[in-house]
Amino acid sequence: MNKTFFILAVCFLLAIKTAHSSTVDVGVSEVLEGNMISMDVDSSSNLVKFSSEFYNMGSVPYKARIKTEIYNNTHLIFGGWNDEKDFMPGDKKMFDSYWYANAAGDYFVKIKVYFGNDIKEYKKVGFSVENIADSEDIFGIKNFRTYDNYVLFDLESSEDANNIVIIPFQYKAGWIFEQKVIENMAKDSSKYIMLNYYPSLWSPSTVKLAIASDNGKYYSEKTLEMNKITGLTGLFYYITDTIKYALFK
């Protein structure tokens, strides 16, 4: 073998190895990290609002949602879920969640943030509810139907209502059931509503919804059966409900 050719070949191989090593060295490690940077409680009425700001401090994009837990002394009395939000690195986004207090008193809230494959729990924060409104039952629900991971129904209001919050507060243990906020409804109107839920394993059950508005002035509770409609009837409802929701949501 020609000596010059051998030396050139060795130099070529060393150059490839050096270039490869450089590529590995400059790689950026992925960091899954996030933190809640603020949390505010508005308990001026018995429709209590919790506002939490979450910050993606890492280098990995992910989805995140929060769970709001309410305690009376040491007992858990409510757990509510928000919808998921997308977080790119550096994103800061607000989560608003709600709870309807049936009685005045001192309570605690704990926020849990589920992001990526991680969970962060924040210490309990105390708050008091003093102003309990005399509420009026004005909301109705018709045409409630259950699908794999959402329910659809017509929400009716017999009065003008603003800042309407739909709060699932009794449902199957281990499930996620998201809250929903509607800006307003006119008197004697109806609105088509979709609520997302995520069962661990699905089985027929019930869900109890609280519908509150106008800082607790209006309040209704509805218990609904969650049963899927199967066969041709189920397919018919699925098609018509999908079209109806697209047109009237």
CA distances from 128 to 35, 98, 125, 212 (A): 26, 15, 10, 19
CA distances from 15 to 5, 26, 27 (A): 15, 17, 19
Quick check: 166 pLDDT over 70?
yes
Length of the chain, please? 249
148 with 242, same domain?
Answer: yes
Residue 28: the pLDDT is 63
92 with 164, same domain?
Answer: no
Measure the CA–CA gap between 179 and 162, rounded to whole angstroms: 16
Collect all residues with Cβ–Cβ distance below 8 Å to 173 and sequence separation of at least 6.
none
Quick check: 45 pLDDT over 50?
yes
75 with 111, same domain?
Answer: yes
CATH number for the domain spanning 68: value is 2.60.40.2360
Measure the CA–CA gap between 106 and 48, rounded to whole angstroms: 13
121 with 160, same domain?
Answer: no
CATH number for the domain spanning 214: value is 2.60.40
Query: 41 or 12, which is more confident?
Result: 41
Q: Which of 90, 109, 129 represents a domain boundary (last residue)?
A: 129
Is residue 98, in this structure, part of any structural domain at all?
Answer: yes
CA distances from 104 to 25, 46, 128, 201, 233 (A): 60, 8, 7, 37, 47
CB atoms within 10 A of CB 69: 17
Percent of the chain surpassing pLDDT 90? 77
Task: Determine the residue type at 233.
Answer: T
Collect all residues with Cβ–Cβ distance below 8 Å to 29 and sequence separation of at least 6.
59
Per DSSP bridges, beta strands 62-72 and 85-87 are antiparallel
In 3-state terms, what secondary structure has residue 10? helix
144 with 96, same domain?
Answer: no
Residue 133: the pLDDT is 79
Residue 234: the pLDDT is 87
Mean pLDDT score, 16-35 = 65
Measure the CA–CA gap between 157 and 191, rounded to whole angstroms: 9
| Model pLDDT for residues 114-135, shown as the tens digit of each residue | 999 999 999 999 999 998 878 9
Residue 27: the pLDDT is 57
Residue 7: the pLDDT is 45
Number of domains in the chain: 2
Q: Which of 63, 94, 129 represents a domain boundary (last residue)?
A: 129
Mean pLDDT score, 74-94 = 96
150 with 242, same domain?
Answer: yes
Is residue 26, in this structure, part of any structural domain at all?
Answer: no
**Helical segments of the chain, H only:** 3-25, 231-248
* Domain of residue 98, residue span: 35-129
149 with 243, same domain?
Answer: yes
Find, among 160, 155, 161, 200, the residue nearest to 177 by Cα. Answer: 200
Q: Which of 129, 155, 190 represents a domain boundary (last residue)?
A: 129
What is the average pLDDT score of the chain?
89
β-partners of residue 64 are 85, 115
